[in-house]
Amino acid sequence: MSHHLHCRVSDSLWHALQNEAERTGHSISHVVQQALSSALDMEHHSIFQVSTTGAIVKGVFDGCTTVGDLKSHGDFGLGTFEDLDGEMVMLDGRCYQAVADGVTHEAGDAWQVPFATVTRFRPDRTEAIGNIADLDALQRELDALRPSENIFVGLRLDGVFDRIDLRAACKALPGEDLVTATSHQSEFSFENIEGTIVGFWTPAYAKALNVAGYHLHFISADRKKGGHLLGVKAGKLTAALHLETDFHIGIPETRAFLEADLRDDPTKALDVAEKGFVRDR
């Protein structure tokens, strides 16, 4: 929900706002919101990410932060746990782990995390979407709601799903990379289930940092089932979009990360591991 703020400001402050808007190319509304967020020590429209997908592709699964630390940066997001032990869903400030067969558990604050993306979710736009025949149809509906190909977007979709196809990564064996580790993942489906899809859309220019395009996880309304989204069918859903204008990344200081060769383009491996296909070039 957005609110309108009406107040009087001095000429000098007004001119300063205009100058900052001209300098940055942002609207005065955006400049004011950023200034208020900074003054009030709040992080609105900011993504906080731990590590990179490039590192995860290479098998850098060592924990480098905790669930508790993630919660200090956001109340909504996704990721995984140490040694690729299941799928993470963070929703409404609580963090869950989805494991084999979609069984979920609430994660403890001390649990170790090698990769995650979180934000403080406050929707900028909420729309009803419907007649979702498959994942491609869902993505087309969301494409129509996104304002740009060059901005990160947090996504929340609530409703009853006719069918939802999910997977959960199984704990990786020593020395496995992402593609190998997810080749023995657990895949499962649920029908007529109420719940929430949680995720992000990432611009193509950030493909070395995160999954380019849509990266979506699911958790049921009773918080007992969940996983990484592979397929979906639904009648009517409520889609909420949170536009992200700041990106912050925590670089792990683990030996595995510091010594990893992260020069390769991770796109192909991510398509296989996360989406189950290799995209056409």
Q: For 136-184, how does the pLDDT look when each residue is reduced to its tens digit (9 = 90+)?
A: 999 999 999 999 999 999 999 999 999 999 999 889 888 888 888 888 8
How many angstroms separate the CA atoms of 77 and 115, rounded? 11
Tokens of residue 229, six digits? 């989204």
Q: What is the mean pLDDT of the chain?
A: 90
- The pLDDT, as a whole number, for residue 273 is 74
- The pLDDT, as a whole number, for residue 135 is 97
- The pLDDT, as a whole number, for residue 116 is 98
Tell which wins on pLDDT, 39 or 191. 191
pLDDT at 34 over 90: no
pLDDT at 219 over 80: yes
- The pLDDT, as a whole number, for residue 130 is 94
Q: The pTM is what?
A: 0.82
- The pLDDT, as a whole number, for residue 5 is 82
pLDDT at 57 over 50: yes
pLDDT at 42 over 60: no
Of 280, 259, 189, nearest to 229 (Cα)?
189
How many angstroms separate the CA atoms of 80 and 274, rounded? 12
pLDDT in tens, 87-143: 999 999 999 999 999 999 999 999 999 999 999 999 999 999 999 999 999 999 999
- The pLDDT, as a whole number, for residue 280 is 40
pLDDT at 281 over 50: no
- The pLDDT, as a whole number, for residue 39 is 65
Tell which wins on pLDDT, 197 or 36. 197
- The pLDDT, as a whole number, for residue 43 is 57
* CATH (residue range 46-275): 3.30.1330.80
Split at pLDDT 50, 70, 90, the class of 277 is: very low
Please give the average per-residue pLDDT across 225-251, as a whole number. 95
Q: What percent of the chain has pLDDT over 90?
A: 67
- The pLDDT, as a whole number, for residue 37 is 66
What residue ranges do the domains of the chain occupy?
10-42, 46-275
pLDDT at 278 over 80: no
Tell which wins on pLDDT, 40 or 164. 164
- The pLDDT, as a whole number, for residue 213 is 96
